[in-house]
Amino acid sequence: MPEEKRSSIERIITGFVPDELVGPYVKLHATGMVPKEDAEEFLGGPEIVKELTDRGLAHHAPHTPDRPASFRAAPIDLAMMAILADLKEQAARDHQRLLAVGASIDSVAALLQPFGDERGDLVVILDY
């Protein structure tokens, strides 16, 4: 879809959440809320409802005396906070993996050091 045809909400979240969640979030945000029992059909299935909920992009609002239970989009500021929290969590996991890889490389280098020359270059001895 051309950039000028997309809503500001869609432009904000595109690229930060899976593509299959952008449309349902934008649709729910534009609608405001749907009855809880209609959410799966309205958004495209139970997995979409679950993903939106798990990612903090939407939530179930309980029944009140004047309103039935509903499914609502999180306001964009709260949705972005949830998206940024997910990105921070992913960055921390990636950082830990990189540290583990670096430690593994250091371990291999330490094992190979006795085979290096005086400059530290690896000397390979082939025995035929």
Query: Shortest CA distance to 6 belongs to which of 33, 26, 28?
Result: 26
Sequence spans of domains, the chain: 3-115
Quickly name the fold that domain 3-115 has: Arc Repressor Mutant, subunit A (1.10.10)
pLDDT digits (tens, 9 = 90+) for 102-112: 777 777 666 66
CA dihedral 48, 54, 58, 59 (to 10 degrees): 110
- Locate 45 and state its tokens: 């299935």
pLDDT tens sequence for the chain (128 residues): 455 567 899 999 999 999 999 999 999 999 989 999 999 999 999 999 999 999 999 999 999 999 899 999 999 999 999 999 999 999 999 999 888 887 777 776 666 666 555 555 555 555 55
Query: Quick one: which of 82, 41, 87 has its CA closest to 59?
Result: 82
Angle at 44 between CA 29 and CA 1, to 5 degrees: 65
Query: Which CA distances in Å does 104 have to 68, 100, 123?
Result: 56, 6, 20
Residues 6+ apart with CB under 8 A from 29: 9, 73, 76
